[in-house]
Every structure is written in C-alpha cells, then in structure tokens.
C-alpha cells in the first residue's frame, strides 16, 4: 500500500490564483481530513469527510473548499489564494470516524502564496 499520498510537494502561487491540492489513500478508509501546519500553531483542522459525499468544516475552513466523490480521493481547493494561506498542508485518513482509529498522515504540501 502507498498509504496517503499528496501532490504536489511544493507549490508557489500568486495572490488571487486558484489551485487544488490532491490527496489520495489506498487503504479503503472512510474518514479523511485536511490540516494546515503553521509555526507555533500546531495542526489545525480545515475540513473533514466521514465518507463519500459527506464533508464538514473544521476549525479554519474559510478560503478552502472540499469534495469527496470517491472513497479514495479528497482534494482541497483554494479558490483565490491569499498570503495568509502560506502553510504546510497535511491530508490524513483513518478507517472510520470512530475516535479510536489511528489517523495516517500524508507527507505534506508546502504552499507559498506571494
């Protein structure tokens, strides 16, 4: 199994540009989520999904959209990038949305918005 994969690894955008961060998992996990990691802020939840067709907002959802059309994929869209969205983004998945399941993280995407 490849686990959780993310593309791209690095990305530079200009303010106002749009892009999609890709996340895929091959473990048949129901639960997937997106976090952003900023210095001194830890990991903050952006959006999450408990299954195909179901998404919900996390702690910092503004400026981001998600969809979950398949179990495997959970893309994160930035519609109009802002410098405040400069961050490292991690996708994670777990078998179910039970509180006892291990979350597996991808390697991250480092995004810079100029």
Partner 1 sequence: GENVEQHPSTLSVQEGDSAVIKCTYSDSASNYFPWYKQELGKGPQLIIDIRSNVGEKKDQRIAVTLNKTAKHFSLHITETQPEDSAVYFCAAEDINSGGSNYKLTFGKGTLLTVNP
Contact residues for partner 1 (CB under 8 A)?
4, 31, 33, 35, 40-45, 48, 50, 56, 58-59, 90, 92, 97-100, 102-108
Vertex 94: Cα angle to 90 and 99 (nearest 5): 110
Identity of the residue, 55 or 85, whose beta carbon is nearer to partner 1 in the bound complex: 55
Nearer to partner 1, 49 or 85 (CB): 49
Is the CB of 13 or the CB of 23 nearer to partner 1?
23
Closest CA relative to residue 3, chosen from 98, 108, 78: 108
Whole-number minimum distance, CB 37 to partner 1, in Å? 9
CB of 10 to partner 1, least distance (A): 11
Q: Least separation, in Å, of the C-beta of 113 and partner 1?
A: 20
Please count the CA atoms within 13 angstroms of the CA of 53 that sit on its side-chain side: 0
Q: Can you say how many angstroms the Cα of residue 114 is from the centroid of all Cα atoms in its chain?
A: 21
Task: With H, G, I as helix, E, B as strand and everything else as coil, classify residue 51.
Answer: strand
């Amino acid at each position: 199994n490849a686990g959780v994969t993310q593309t791209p690894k690095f990305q530079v955008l200009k303010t106002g540009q749009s892009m999609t961060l890709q996340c895929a998992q091959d473990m048949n996990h129901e639960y997937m989520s997106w976090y952003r990691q900023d210095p001194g802020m830890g990991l903050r939840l952006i959006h999450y999904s408990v299954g195909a067709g179901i998404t919900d907002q996390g702690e910092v959802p503004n400026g981001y959209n998600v969809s979950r059309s398949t179990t495997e994929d959970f893309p994160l869209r930035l519609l109009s990038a802002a410098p405040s969205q400069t961050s490292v983004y991690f996708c994670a998945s777990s078998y179910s949305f039970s509180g006892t399941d291990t979350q597996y993280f991808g390697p991250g995407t480092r995004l810079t918005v100029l």
